[in-house]
A and B are shown apart, each in its own frame.
Chain A
């Protein structure tokens, strides 16, 4: 368990427990589950870390015979190292959100070859059939839902600008689906630049879009962090009345805005960092209740509006 502001008080106790558990032999009837996720470097991964710690704490309380090892990594190579370290500690199962698919395929295969149960989250590996269990979001649906939102808001067509994310496979899938779903709708995409899912970049990019295009009817910022930056730029320009703004991924600040009836942002697309929750829970159940679970779970990315926002609101989450 990493040290967060919330858990700092628990650290002494946790530290003592870790040192007691150091011999690292799973108890009779128990199991040891390794969890490998990216470090909290931006909003979404911050939420991911929060929900991971929350779920592990809940599972440990409910099933004391199951032990967890949590590692976070800032880059691909450290994630590979983390996996090797956890395999050396004798884990029975590995829950991993691969930072990238290609470079992690071999290390995860090596873990599987040693009989470790593999659960991949959010992103698959480059080879089929490595993972025993897959829990993911639906990135294509993410793009489609965004397109449907603009078609609904601009039934007679219109001009929109788009901010892409960080150049990744995920971003490509979303944008391809978005473009495909917009076809024939009369909605014209004026430009697409990378906003890196970052509020500062979102702000500056939006300012430039606003000076460049006289008519903008809609903005898809791709992510809530970037959307908050874009919102500040739109409000500064005084053109808020003429446009609709959509972000995505379900940041709590934005969901609160939707609940409170914000003038500019009235919807969000759920792409939840909570998808780590079922992944850990199902993997735990396999050992705690001997449920032989395998297969693929794909969580929906529904549109969040004022009506259903409360279901997606986590006030204590950092994201």
Chain B
């Protein structure tokens, strides 16, 4: 009798435990990678290295936060990499153009504001074409990706769009500056992640995004303005791209036609590794953060060690992505 009871208890606890394990999957995978990193390279766990990885991950990370919203509402944005390059290029051109007539600080500030607006505008175009134009998001954003990538190549004549050297000092703290020893990009990324998680789980907008993602017809009958919310996710994605360029531009002060190449795939991979369903309806910003860090840590470990041929780096990264997602998918069958 008591045995049967115990059995019943375990039967219920085990799936629960597995479920928790699956839910925490991205964090466990990240923790595992960090342990591996610390074991294989003495450099890995130094403060300098950890800060480097976090700082450089924040660019993709901020973009991926926006992507979490888009994907949760069952959308997709393939254009973010090209958008980042175009927005960054245009904002550098605005800064250079204004510096002739305005002070360096004002020129840079206006250039950064322009980046946010350009990002939002590009996101609005993607959203409107997808939602109002009723064209598949994959096709719309594949198209705008090509358009924006070509535009940045054209604007730069295939070379680079460089920030005037006089202006570089002004924006520099946005990438290289620190507050209380923590680099600015990490702070921006952290705050946005917290805000994103709150919006997605606690605010009405976030619940609407998830509702639309799981079933847009039901959402429509529940008096959710589906079109507006869906467009808003693309605008939010665009603003995130704009914020990411604020950090990217001061880093090297130059934009090339290869800027942001394949960022869209990194962002989408991070979102999925983090446990957001590609089919929509279920999004986790904290998972996305873990996903971004997993990708960043893997490439960092590969740079810090020479166990495997650099020719195989891509294979290693690909395997990690599949394993990280596989670990979570187990819970569905459990």
Contact = CB atoms under 8 A, between A and B. Distances in A.
A205 B304 CA distance: 9
Given A50-B158, A204-B56, A253-B160, A211 B48 contact: yes
Interface of B: 41, 43, 46, 48-49, 52, 56, 153-160, 162, 176, 251-252, 254, 256-259, 299-300, 303-304, 306, 310-311, 313
A10 interface: no
A278 interface: no
Judged by DSSP, the binding face of A is helix
A317 B159 contact: yes
Given A42-B258, A211-B49, A319-B159, A4 B303 contact: no
A120 B310 CA distance: 31
B257 A207 contact: no
A192 B310 CA distance: 8
Given A41-B158, A207-B52, 4 more contacts: A39-B158, A211-B46, A228-B254, A236-B176
Interface in A285-319: 317-319
Contacts of B43: 211-212
Nearest to B253: A232
Nearest to B255: A199
A250 interface: no
A126 interface: no
A109 B162 CA distance: 42
B152 to A, nearest CB: 11
Interface in A182-227: 191-194, 198-200, 203-205, 207-209, 211-212, 225
A158 interface: no
A84 to B, nearest CB: 23
Listed from nearest, the 7 A-B pairs whose CB atoms lie closest are A40-B158, A46-B158, A318-B159, A318-B157, A208-B303, A46-B159, A211-B49
Nearest to A316: B157
B158 A211 contact: no
A204 B303 contact: yes
A311 B254 CA distance: 25
A12 B60 CA distance: 41
A46 B157 CA distance: 6
29 contacts: A3-B154, A5-B157, A6-B157, A39-B158, A40-B153, A41-B158, A41-B258, A42-B257, A42-B258, A43-B256, A46-B153, A46-B157, A164-B310, A193-B303, A194-B310, A198-B256, A199-B252, A199-B254, A199-B256, A203-B251, A204-B303, A205-B303, A208-B49, A211-B43, A211-B46, A212-B303, A228-B254, A318-B156, A318-B157
